[in-house]
């Protein structure tokens, strides 16, 4: 009985080898394969968005239970993403301080001296609030219209919109929201409005008062 089993196994093995050798020797007719009629257009997410979806540990570093989900937690989470909370840093594109402000934005909120700004943590905190207040006024209608809706799979929240406005400017965020996410934006590092809206969603920024003429 055992000899029969062994003999049968040998026969099956030899037969399998012969079959594979014949199969592999055949040529494949590629003319039967076609992409005609197939939808080959797609949008690949940038690396930040991939990171946002798969690296939960990294995501958690932006939220501190001690700081909570109010204004303080929001601004410190954003500052960590922008500069690792470094008041004195200037990046290769000239953006400055803890919240990485550009010269043009600082001028809008009444700050003209780069050195004064970099050397004053207090001024940087006031600048962040003033810019947030100004952006909230500019986007007041959009916040009313879109908060609670989903765009590109991301729930629109006030804090997410304000964070995106800090990244891209309120004008770019308006275009993004009103186009249903079609008109996007990415900074020099490839960071998008969608990424910031998702990353900084769900904070309570109701304490920020909308002010068209906000100054630091």
pLDDT digits (tens, 9 = 90+) for 155-199: 999 999 999 999 999 999 999 999 999 988 888 788 999 999 999
63 pLDDT exceeds 70? no
Query: Please, what sign has the CA dihedral across residues 103, 107, 113, 119?
Result: negative
Provide the domain limits for residue 149. Answer: 47-199
Confidence (pTM) = 0.72
9 pLDDT exceeds 70? no
> Do 51 and 28 lie in a common domain?
no
CA proximity to 163, closest of 188, 190, 149, 143: 143
Please report whether residue 61 resides in a domain.
yes
pLDDT at 62: 55
> Do 72 and 24 lie in a common domain?
no
- Please tell me the total count of domains within the chain: 2
> Do 23 and 104 lie in a common domain?
no
> Do 68 and 168 lie in a common domain?
yes
Mean pLDDT of the chain: 80
Residue 12's pLDDT band (cuts 50, 70, 90): low
52 pLDDT exceeds 50? no
Each residue's pLDDT tens digit, 93-114: 999 999 999 999 999 999 999 9
Please report whether residue 214 resides in a domain.
no
**Percent of the chain at pLDDT exceeding 90:** 65
Please report whether residue 212 resides in a domain.
no
> CA 149 to CA 178: how far, in whole Å?
12
Please report whether residue 10 resides in a domain.
yes
89 pLDDT exceeds 90? yes
pLDDT at 184: 83
Span 35-49, mean pLDDT?
A: 37
What is the DSSP code (8-state) at residue 31? Answer: G
> Do 6 and 78 lie in a common domain?
no
Please report whether residue 204 resides in a domain.
no
> Do 16 and 95 lie in a common domain?
no
Please report whether residue 209 resides in a domain.
no
> Do 117 and 184 lie in a common domain?
yes
CATH code for the domain in which residue 176 is found = 1.10.530
Please report whether residue 163 resides in a domain.
yes
> Do 22 and 129 lie in a common domain?
no
Query: 100: alpha, beta or left, given left = phi > 0 and alpha = psi -120 to 50?
Result: left
Residue 32's pLDDT band (cuts 50, 70, 90): very low
In sequence order, what are the beta bridge partners of 192? Answer: 186
């Amino acid at each position: 009985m055992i000899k029969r089993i062994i003999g049968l196994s040998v026969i099956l093995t030899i037969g399998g080898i012969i079959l594979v050798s014949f199969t592999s020797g055949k040529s494949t007719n590629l003319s039967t394969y076609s992409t005609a009629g197939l939808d080959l257009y797609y949008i690949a997410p940038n690396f930040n968005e991939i990171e946002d979806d798969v690296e939960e540990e990294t995501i958690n570093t932006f939220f501190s239970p001690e700081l909570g989900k109010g204004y303080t937690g929001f601004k410190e989470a954003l500052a960590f993403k922008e500069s690792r909370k470094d008041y004195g840093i200037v990046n290769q594109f000239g953006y400055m301080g803890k919240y990485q402000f550009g010269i043009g934005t600082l001028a809008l909120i009444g700050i003209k001296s780069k050195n004064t700004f970099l050397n004053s943590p207090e001024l940087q905190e006031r600048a962040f609030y003033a810019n947030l207040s100004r952006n909230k006024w500019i986007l007041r209608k959009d916040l009313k219209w879109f908060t609670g809706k989903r765009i590109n799979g991301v729930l629109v929240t006030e804090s997410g919109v304000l964070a995106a406005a800090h990244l891209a400017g309120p004008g770019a965020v308006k275009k993004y929201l009103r186009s249903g996410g079609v008109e996007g934006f990415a900074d020099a590092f490839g960071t998008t409005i969608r990424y910031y809206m998702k990353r900084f969603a769900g904070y309570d920024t109701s304490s920020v008062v909308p002010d068209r003429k906000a100054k630091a």
